[in-house]
Amino acid sequence: MDNPGMDAPATQPAEASSDVLVSLTDVNKYFGALHVLQDINLDVKRGEVLVVIGPSGSGKSTLCRAINRLEPINSGSITLDGQKLPEEGKPLARLRADVGMVFQSFNLFAHKSILENVTLGPLKVRRLKPAEAKKQAMELLERVGVANQANKLPAQLSGGQQQRVAIARALAMQPKVMLFDEPTSALDPEMVNEVLDVMVSLASEGMTMVVVTHEMGFARKAADRVVFMADGRIVEQAPPDQFFDNPQSERAKDFLSKILTH
């Protein structure tokens, strides 16, 4: 306190790092002999929307799954909001609650109503009171445009509606970051936009998002940064316009020429 000037440098790193919500450092992951994540270094800033693209098998899903520890990593470290990912027990359950995940297949509980699907996590993990959980769930279902389906079972909804429920269910846990792994690739084409619209509005509200998708329109509209992966590595990363209009690596050029001609 005698010399406030001396304190300033010491506090700087902590303040600087608070901008970063998810941080991967030298992350390596193997499936047997297959080296699926190779020295991945990636920081996701608070409020940033990151789109991850790359060929099949390049490690995009594994990267997402590593961030909420559905897949343990072999070396390196991953932190969420400055905390190393917990390995097990209650801290791991809390981490999972902080990291919302939406998969290609909607993964709703088939025998529970839409409303129950959305209230279950908050009741069990966040320990909300039933009335509170219901109120919050109805607000979220309203926001994604399916409040009128609340009492139905998942199978009674279209794929696009189910995926919007899956987004509402993840949001109900009040996550710090949302991970989306090809959320629209199992949908009939006419339902893709209703899901992307929800994601665009989430992005514009400041949600931190990691989105694996080949939807270039979404990437251009909503992404702050595109990360291109191939063979378990981050080959290239850039703002979307720069990446799509002027890719640098041969791998990215080749990949874009393939997906853009279809």
Ligand X SMILES: Nc1ncnc2c1ncn2[C@@H]1O[C@H](COP(=O)(O)OP(=O)(O)OP(=O)(O)O)[C@@H](O)[C@H]1O
Q: Please, what is the minimum distance in Å from the beta carbon of residue 25 to ligand X? A: 19
**Of these, 34, 93, 110, 259, which contacts ligand X (CB under 6 A)?**
34
Choice between 183 and 240, CB closer to Mg ion: 183
Choice between 58 and 149, CB closer to ligand X: 58
Cβ neighbours for 259, distance < 8 A, ≥ 6 positions apart:
214, 216
28 binds ligand X (CB under 6 A): no
Given 3-state DSSP classes, what are the helix, strand and coil percentages for the chain, each rounded to the nearest 5?
45, 25, 30
Distance CA 254, CA 262 (A): 13
**Of these, 21, 48, 49, 61, which contacts Mg ion (CB under 5 A)?**
61
**Of these, 18, 31, 253, 257, which contacts ligand X (CB under 6 A)?**
31
Q: How many CB atoms lie within 10 A of CB 257?
A: 10
62 binds Mg ion (CB under 5 A): no
56 binds ligand X (CB under 6 A): yes
Distance CA 159, CA 105 (A): 9
60 binds ligand X (CB under 6 A): yes
DSSP calls for 47-104 = T-EEEEE-STTSSHHHHHHHHTTSS--SEEEEEETTEEPP-SHHHHHHHHHHEEEE-S
38 binds ligand X (CB under 6 A): no
Choice between 73 and 118, CB closer to Mg ion: 73
Give yes or no for a contact between 181 and 106, defined as CB atoms under 8 angstroms apart.
Answer: no
Residues contacting ligand X: total by CB under 6 A: 11
Q: Which does 34 bind (CB under 5 to 8 A by kind): ligand X, Mg ion, none?
A: ligand X
Q: Summarize as ranges the residues that interact with ligand X (CB under 6 A).
A: 31, 34, 36, 54, 56-62
